[in-house]
Structure 1
Amino acid sequence: SMNFQRNRSQRHPITKGTVAVWEGDYKLIHYLENKESLLFNLKKDPGELNNLFEKEPETGQPLLKLIQDNLEKANEKIRRGE
């Protein structure tokens, strides 16, 4: 589950900030401004020192798509004024 929130006084899309999602042993952190993504296996790397995003695209890409899809839904609601 993912929930994006915005400042209710603003009608601008969400373009700044950091989003994280967990699935199983993995955590993906995505920085909206520079579009950088970091993927960690928390079981093997609890200190989050080894970024696996490029090494394990089969794990990282679906998590990034989950973030992007939910962000698009949130921004569509903002555009509609919800």
Structure 2
Amino acid sequence: MSEAGKIALCAVLAGLMLAVAIASALRSPAKDQRAPATVLAPEALAADPDLRRCRIITMPDAGCEAAWEARRRHFFGSDDRR
């Protein structure tokens, strides 16, 4: 391939890359079809005294484990299929 052909090929590829970059920049962002994740407000934890108490203890506690498991089931749904 001659030097002029290589230069022309590079120019065509650069032009194509520039066109793709401009087209993607001008394109409107796609809307996310999923609902956004919700963050548990501190007030929600404050409403449940077991969870509020369990946030600060460091030793294992059966009551706390049950409370957190109930919160997980509520958050993820009660579907037990895995």
TM-score computed with the length of structure 2 as normaliser: 0.32
Which structure: greater strand fraction? 1
> Whose Rg is larger?
2
Which structure: greater helix fraction? 2
RCO higher in 1 or 2 (8 Å CA, sep ≥ 6)? 1
TM-score computed with the length of structure 1 as normaliser: 0.32
